[in-house]
Structure 1
Amino acid sequence: MRKLLTSPNAMSLSATEQTIYQNALSLVADLSLNLMAVKVESHPDSFLNWCRELYRICLHDINQDLLEPSQQKPLKKLQDTMSNGVSACQLKMARIIPWPIFTSFVQEHSKLQALPERLKLLNYIATLRHNKLAEMIDEDRLAFAGKHSAQHDISVYDFDVEWFAGTRGAKTFHQLLKSHPKDFDQALDHIPLDGDVTLADYQNFVNAYKAIFANHTNEEKAPLSAATRLLAMRRPDQFIALNSGKIDTLSQGLGLVKLNNQSFDDYWHEMIEAIRNTQWWRSEMPSDEAELQLWQNRAILIDLFLFADNSLAQNSNYIRMRDKPKKIKIGVAKAVKRSKASAEAIVDKAFESDDIPDFILNMRSTIVNSVKDGKTVDQAITLMRNIFG
């Protein structure tokens, strides 16, 4: 263990990596006896793999039964420091790699990072992009804005709408989005749906976005994070979606000044320009279909260079809703009511499937009413199949 803990001294560390290493050593002091009891079999020669190995040891190899209650906090901090170290190293790599290595890395981490589910979200949002927020059903507007709800029928929304950056905590943002969606449409109209996005385009969006909060709140400041979610959903090839959990990690890993939730100028001049200067972002549009899908979403996919463990994919709101045990209760269970417009849109999307028989299509109004009253579209269709099929 001593050899493992001191091995980074022989590595060529960046200033960021050196800071992470020193932070780790300061936490090791409280866990030294527990760590020394661990048999170390791997001695990585890179700081990235060193962080991964020490994270694994903290998670799996330390004898939890021997830990004092006071040691739980430094152990958790050490794990967090190592996960930040992994992110910093992978983001450092992202700054210099060409497109082929970018795609290779993304595909290699596909399962760990839930890439197929993330792409389902992006593909779904792509079908909404030409629509106005004001004209969307509530479920679609929330999917675009990044807020999961019980109304998101997993038969249609087979993905977590909060991938990349959830905005559930931005209460004022969602209140304004619900009451003044046309104002947000006017702000997003400044960002072209294809081609180059210029600084002027971005500044016009920011001015319009901030004006919504200035005009409709009591001097509440407009949050950057929610703005980046809207921008990244409109143009995932151009923008990164931020939240409070990753803004510091991205800033550190990309070698930027530290951003906060009001850093609208630095978001463009530091973060977006840093991404635009990478080889992989500047690469030509590929002809391969799978690579093209990644290229069309390449900026937002910087998220796949952030640390992930085996729990990430399973924490998806979609997975948790899909696998939620059905509880048997005495009495009538509370149904998830939907508006008629939402129910109609959800049913019509389900009807786009090629395996829906004609007799089910002819029962649209009955199925819409069932979905409106709280059934999922799959439940409603299955019931009709069982009765009339």
Structure 2
Amino acid sequence: MKKLLISPSKMALGEQESQIYQNILKQSTEISLNLMAVKVENHPEDFLGWCYELLDVAKNRINFDLLDDHQLPTVKKLQDLLISAISFLQLKTLRIAPWPVICGFIEQHKDVLALEEQLKLTSYLAPMRSTPLKEMIAEDRLAFTGKHAASLDTSVYNFDVEWFASTKSAKGFHQLLADLPGAFDDALANIPSEGDVSEQDYQAFMIGYLSAFAGTDEKPTLAPATRLLAMRRPDVFTPISNNRLDALCQALGISRLNNRDFERYWSDVVMSIRTMPWFAMTTENGELEEQLASIKALLPCFFYYADKDTADNSNYIKLLNKPVRSSRSGGTKTVRRGKESAEVLVDRALADESIPDHIRDKRDSIIAEVEKGRSVDETIGLMRAIFG
């Protein structure tokens, strides 16, 4: 273990990496005896591999039974530092990596990234990128803006809507969005649905977004705005989230953005990513590359740290596996849906050519069941079981 801990001192680390290494060493001091008790056979020669190895020690191989209670926060802090370091190092490769290398990394890590599920989200939202928020049903608006809810039917929303950047903590934003969706539509209307997006387009959006908060007690913040922009134009805008912002800013070589840095988001994030080699020279060799090219500004999100638990932590997976709870009256506790949402979801499902006409004739009955909280697929399945 001692050899592992000191090995980065023999690596050719840059200034940022050296500072990260020193912070990790400092955090390791309090639990040094516990770390020394772990047998290490793998000694990576690169700093990224070193971070992965030490993280594995701190998460899976250290003996937690021998740790005092006051040491547990230290271990957690060490894990967080290593995760942030891994994200930074992987994101930093975006500065110089060509398109084939970017695609190769994503494909290599597709399982831990839950790539298939993430692409389902972007594919679902693609047809509604130009749809006004005020015309969307509530569930689609949640999917577009990145906030999970128990009302999302897993047979329709077979993905976690919070991939790329969650906005669940932006309560003020969501309250305003529910009350005045048209104000955010006015802001988004300044962003062309295709073609080039200029700084003037972005500034017009920014003015509209800030204006949506005028006269309210809520303060406009950057992260939800970037989610809106990224879902409208995933080939231009990269969403940010506060818990990952340090790694992104370090990798881009910029000072940390605060939650009101609207102007710097364009100049330091959007423009920095736009000038990277892979971004300017995308190719579409195969179906996966074609999908990735269409959402190329989202690709940095795939370079944050992910492990085998990432996919299982998807809100979609959790909702899918959530045990059914019973109410006091003995019935099943469900989340009711609005009639408009139920109608839209059912009509989408019934548009499938494989649905027979006699099932389509049961549309009103299906809608009534979906309103009560039953999933669309389950309801149609029951109808087919009963009526053939």
Is TM > 0.5 for Structure 1 vs Structure 2?
Answer: yes
Q: Indicate the SS of the match to 1:41.
A: coil
Counterparts of 1:328 and 1:191, CA distance in 2: 47
Q: Assess if the C-alpha contact under 8 Å between 1:145 and 1:226 holds in 2.
A: yes
Moved more, 193-202 or 249-258: 249-258
- The aligned amino acid for 2:112 is L
Counterparts of 2:34 and 2:122, CA distance in 1: 44
2:345 maps to 1:346: yes
Which residue is 1:381 aligned to?
380
Q: Assess if the C-alpha contact under 8 Å between 1:237 and 1:295 holds in 2.
A: yes
Deviation (angstroms), 1:130: 2.4
Deviation (angstroms), 1:325: 2.0
Q: Assess if the C-alpha contact under 8 Å between 2:146 and 2:167 holds in 1.
A: yes
| Equivalent residue runs for 1:166-185 within 5 Å | 166-185=166-185
Which residue is 2:256 aligned to?
258
Q: Which runs of 5+ in 1 are unaligned?
A: none
Change (3 A) 1:86 1:207: same
Which residue is 2:188 aligned to?
188
| Aligned alpha-carbon RMSD (Å) | 1.3
Counterparts of 2:73 and 2:233, CA distance in 1: 40
Which residue is 1:306 aligned to?
304
- The aligned amino acid for 2:87 is S
- The aligned amino acid for 2:36 is M
| Equivalent residue runs for 1:36-55 within 5 Å | 36-55=36-55
Change (3 A) 1:284 1:240: closer
Q: Assess if the C-alpha contact under 8 Å between 1:17 and 1:88 holds in 2.
A: no
Q: Which runs of 5+ in 2 are unaligned?
A: none
Which residue is 1:147 aligned to?
147
Q: Assess if the C-alpha contact under 8 Å between 1:88 and 1:253 holds in 2.
A: yes
Q: Indicate the SS of the match to 1:225.
A: helix
Counterparts of 2:353 and 2:7, CA distance in 1: 58
Number of residue pairs aligned between Structure 1 and Structure 2: 387
Counterparts of 2:49 and 2:351, CA distance in 1: 46
Deviation (angstroms), 1:156: 0.5
Counterparts of 1:99 and 1:334, CA distance in 2: 48
Moved more, 346-355 or 24-33: 346-355
Which residue is 2:10 aligned to?
10
Which residue is 1:214 aligned to?
214
Instruction: Spell out, residue by residue over 1:212-248, the C-alpha distance to the aligned partner (whole angstroms, 9 max, x if none).
Output: 1114x03x32110000000000011111111111112
Deviation (angstroms), 1:359: 2.1
Counterparts of 1:53 and 1:353, CA distance in 2: 49
Which residue is 2:75 aligned to?
75
Pick from 236, 239, 244: which aligns with 1:238? 236
Q: Indicate the SS of the match to 2:347.
A: helix
Instruction: Spell out, residue by residue over 1:168-226, the C-alpha distance to the aligned partner (whole angstroms, 9 max, x if none).
Output: 111111111111111111100111111111111101100110011114x03x3211000
Q: Indicate the SS of the match to 2:113.
A: coil
